[in-house]
C-alpha cells in the first residue's frame, strides 16, 4: 500500500464502521483500528497483520481479500458477510499501536461492546487480544479460549491478536485458535 508515514499519521484518531452481516454467527473483535485500517476503511488492513491469512488457513474464508489504498472490494466484503462473520473493535479510535490506549478507553469500549453484542445476536463473539480483554472487561486472570461468562447471549472467546507485533504467534497457531470459535458458531464444520 502506498501511504507515507505522514499520510498514515493523518488518520490517527479516526474511526471505521463495523463490518457486520444482518445476522452474524461469529463476531471477531479487534483491540482498535490501526492507522492502515483507518486509511483504507478495512479492518486488519496492515500488510503485516496475519488476520486474513489465519481466517483462510482456518477455513473461515475461501480466499484472501484484496486490500489496497481504496479499501476492499464489494465481492470480498460479501465473502465475509455471507460467511456470517462480523468484525468490530473494542475501542473505535485509530492509533499506531494498541499500547497507546488508556485503560479507561478499554473499559468504556467493553461496556459498548456488551450493548452492541446484545443487538447483533451472534452465536459467538471472540475478542482478539488477551491483555486488552483483561483490562477492558476487568478480568485480570482470564486465559485464552472460551470464557465461562458470555457476552449478551453469545459465547465469549478470547483469542490471540493477529498483529505482526505479536511475535509469538504464527498464521498456523492463529488459524488453530480461530477455528475453535468458528466451529462453535457454525461458520465451519
pLDDT tens over the chain, length 189 residues: 578 999 999 999 999 999 999 999 999 999 999 999 999 999 999 888 999 999 999 999 999 999 988 889 999 999 999 999 999 999 999 999 999 999 999 999 999 999 999 999 999 999 999 999 999 999 999 999 999 999 999 999 999 999 877 778 999 999 999 999 999 999 998
* pTM, to two decimals: 0.96
Question: If we measure between CA atoms, which residue out of 69, 90, 92, 132 comes closest to residue 12?
Answer: 92
Start-to-end CA distance of the chain, whole Å, equals: 35
Q: Where are the domains of the chain?
A: 5-185
CATH level 3 topology of 5-185:
Uracil-DNA Glycosylase, subunit E (3.40.470)
The string over 23-49, giving b where at least 16 C-beta atoms fall within 10 Å of a residue's C-beta and e elsewhere, is ebbbbbbbbbbbbbbbbbbbbbbbeeb
Measured in degrees and rounded to the nearest 5, phi and psi for residue 33 equal: -70, 140
Amino acid at each position: 500500500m502506498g501511504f507515507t508515514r505522514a499520510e498514515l499519521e493523518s488518520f490517527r484518531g479516526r474511526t471505521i464502521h463495523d463490518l457486520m452481516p444482518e445476522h452474524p454467527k461469529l463476531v471477531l473483535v479487534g483491540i482498535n483500528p490501526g492507522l492502515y485500517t483507518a486509511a483504507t476503511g478495512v479492518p486488519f488492513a496492515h500488510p503485516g497483520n496475519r488476520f486474513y491469512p489465519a481466517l483462510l488457513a482456518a477455513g473461515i474464508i475461501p480466499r484472501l481479500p484484496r486490500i489496497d489504498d481504496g479499501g476492499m472490494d464489494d465481492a470480498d466484503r460479501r465473502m465475509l458477510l455471507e460467511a456470517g462473520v462480523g468484525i468490530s473493535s473494542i475501542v473505535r479510535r485509530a492509533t499506531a499501536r494498541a499500547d497507546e490506549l488508556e485503560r479507561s478507553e478499554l473499559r468504556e469500549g467493553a461496556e459498548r461492546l456488551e450493548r452492541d453484542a446484545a443487538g447483533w445476536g451472534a452465536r459467538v463473539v471472540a475478542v482478539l487480544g488477551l491483555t486488552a480483554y483483561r483490562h477492558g472487561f476487568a478480568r485480570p486472570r482470564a486465559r485464552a479460549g472460551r470464557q465461562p461468562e458470555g457476552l449478551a447471549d453469545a459465547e465469549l472467546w478470547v483469542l490471540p491478536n493477529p498483529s505482526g507485533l505479536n511475535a509469538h504467534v504464527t498464521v498456523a497457531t492463529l488459524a488453530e485458535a480461530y477455528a475453535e470459535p468458528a466451529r462453535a458458531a457454525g461458520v465451519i464444520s
